[in-house]
Amino acid sequence: MTILSKSSIVIESGKILTEKMRRKIRQEEERMRGVETRIQEIRHAIFTEVAKMAYDVNSPVEKTIEEIPYRVIPGEVGNFRNDVFLERAIVGERLRLAMGLPCRSAAEHAPISDNIKLADQAETYYTPPLINVIKFACNACHEKRVLITEGCQGCLAHPCVEVCPKKAITLDRTNGRSYIDQDKCVKCGQCAKVCGYQAIIIQERPCARACGMDAIGSDENGKADIDYEKCVSCGQCLVNCPFGAISDKSQIFQVIRAIQSGERVYAALAPAFVGQFGPKVTPGKLRAAMKKLGFADVFEVAIGADLCAAQEAEDFVNEVPEKLPFMATSCCPAWSVMAKKLFPDYANCISMALTPMTLTARLIKKHNPNAKVVFVGPCAAKKLEAMRRSVRSEVDFVLTFEEMSGIFDARQVDVSALEEDPDGVSDASVDGRNFAVSGGVAKSVENVIREKYPEPRTQDGKCRRSEGMPETADNGKGRKVQRLSSRRHGLSGRMRGRSRHDAVNQKSQAAVNKYAAQAKHKISSQTEYVKGTGQAGRLKRTARWRKKVKRKKDGFAAAILQWYFCCRCGRQRQ
């Protein structure tokens, strides 16, 4: 990684991106995520049908799954593409992924129900890869190309010709318009920048542009291909594919069958659930709806967030800067994997505290030893965490809000019409619930530090800003808590409910803030769960890999590293 100090430019993966360019890319991605499209309709129909199939214990799954494509795509004419048979084939692969089965290519001759029994086992975990490209659904988009549109006026100045470093642009004397020789063009985009009519456009493959790890390339047929050595399963490609050719695996079927088998299944609900199932759905109504589906009880993951904040505050005070130059914190598994892959020398600086999801699940199983725990949250990245062997014993299933919406519709549960459950969800702190919003994580840790270690933080007793990184909390001893505040952080659900909303959707953030304000406690360390756990019940993540990493001293590179984490990854806490 090359860093240019004292400028707003960072060279990432060989591309120079100014802040203005990064902002433009973010805006384009936001527009895509905020639009209800046919892709959501198909996804919701798939999830609903899978849930119905799981509830229908009288019909054989092998037969039912073969019939579903004809329900989703009825008739003899394609609804979304030109070929009805292609549409049904794509739906078939989506069904397999929704059942947790591996994705297949068009060359494999086998029914949809092939190996369907693997999905109906008592212990069916997510198996890699989590994010899959359905090859015959991919449009084989160009990786990148520069095009001159009909908006070209054939102006006299023709600055596009003048700035091209490879002389790839010439004038068509018949119509006066510019022409690009694609064999010479290096896709630098200089011509597009100087065109006064904005008649030159730069097209990039949407999934590859959204990938912060440069993990998407092309196969021999020009189809999108994921390099799983680089992929961190963040789901950004899935969100931004206009053809819906990328999909993730689900555990809808397994969760429902676990409930039907008589297991005590508990739901651990991420605090971002507010507003995801409709404006009239309150925490009490959602709890009633979950129990109507057969869940034994519902816990809010904010209680795990409180425990996490307390742990990280203590680790921070004990280790920074005596043992570690800084502490980077995020419970998003995609973020964690990204940091370790791109910056292995600083992997030991990532917080070792268990994530709120795992802490909540462990707390549930501590009081209910035979329980099964389902984490329900806004993004698919938590499925990646559940795939880890160290987490499997704590978290049995992971569902997104979008998948839960399909289950509600399968059982015809109108959440907004239900009566309030007087117990609500769980008692947590304001800071714990605000883990779901941008800057909420570090703010929670900072508040715990201020309460438990009240010595002066700085000379003026306030937070200060360090050069090259966002605002930090400093306790006067050179200890820094990275806020990790970025416009792309917090509330990062790929798809909430049935819509694709941006991570910084102001309505969602306002809804969470309003809900968080109703908590009885302000700071994470004040809740009964944290007080009851105490030092004796301290739960820590294994640090086995930490010993293998050589620790380095703090410096400008460390500061930039923290800032880079903010800008590079589009997700943070659930």
Q: What is the pLDDT of residues 159-175, one digit of tens each?
A: 999 999 999 999 988 88
Taking only the tens place, the pLDDT of each residue in 96-133 is 999 999 999 888 888 999 999 888 876 666 788 999 99
Does the pLDDT of residue 504 top 60, yes or no? no
Q: Is the pLDDT of residue 343 over 50?
A: yes
Q: Indicate the residue type of 175.
A: N
pLDDT at 527: 65
Task: Give the pLDDT score at 433.
Answer: 79
Q: Name the range with the highest mean pLDDT among 52-61, 376-385, 544-553.
A: 52-61
Which residue(s) pair with 540 in the sheet? 353
* Burial of 454 from C-beta contacts in 10 A (0-12 / 13-18 / 19+): exposed
The pLDDT value recorded for residue 178 is: 94
User: Which of the two residues, 113 and 25, has the higher pLDDT score?
Assistant: 113
Asked if pLDDT for residue 563 goes beyond 70, the answer is no
Helix, strand or coil, per DSSP, at residue 344: helix
Q: Residues 88, 93, 96, CA angle at the centre, nearest 5°?
A: 125
| Residue 411: pLDDT over 60 | yes
The answer to whether 218 and 142 are in contact (CB under 8 A) is no
Residue 232 has pLDDT above 70, yes or no: yes
Mean pLDDT of the residues in the chain: 77
Model confidence pLDDT, tens digit, residues 356-374? 999 999 999 988 989 999 9
How much is the pTM? 0.79
Taking the C-alpha atoms of residue 102 and residue 137, their distance in angstroms, rounded to an integer, is 16
pLDDT score recorded for residue 55: 96
CB distance 326 to 482 below 8 Å: yes
More confident residue, 567 or 36: 36
| CA dihedral angle for residue 276, residue 278, residue 281, residue 287, rounded to 10 degrees | -40
Q: Which own/partner pairs from 413-419 qualify as long-range (CB within 8 Å, at least 24 positions apart)?
A: 413/289, 413/292, 413/293, 415/277, 415/278, 415/281, 415/285, 415/286, 415/289, 416/277, 416/278, 416/280, 416/281, 416/285, 418/285, 418/288, 418/289, 418/292, 419/285, 419/288
Looking at residue 529, what is its pLDDT? Answer: 58
Q: What is the pLDDT of residue 384?
A: 85
Which of 403-412, 447-456, 533-542 shows the highest mean pLDDT? 403-412
Q: Which pLDDT belongs to residue 173?
A: 83
Read off the pLDDT of residues 34-77 as tens digits, 9 standing for 90 and up.
Answer: 566 889 899 999 999 999 999 999 999 999 999 999 999 999 98
Least confident interval from 144-148, 406-410, 568-572? 568-572
What percentage of the chain exceeds 70 in pLDDT? Answer: 73
Give the pLDDT confidence score for residue 155 in this predicted structure. 92
Highest mean pLDDT among 76-90, 243-257, 517-531, 539-553: 243-257
Bigger pLDDT: 538 vs 363:
363
Q: What is the mean pLDDT of residues 424-429?
A: 69
Instruction: Report the distance separating Cα 418 and Cα 408, nearest Å.
Output: 12
Q: How confident is the model at residue 23 (pLDDT cuts 50, 70, 90)?
A: low
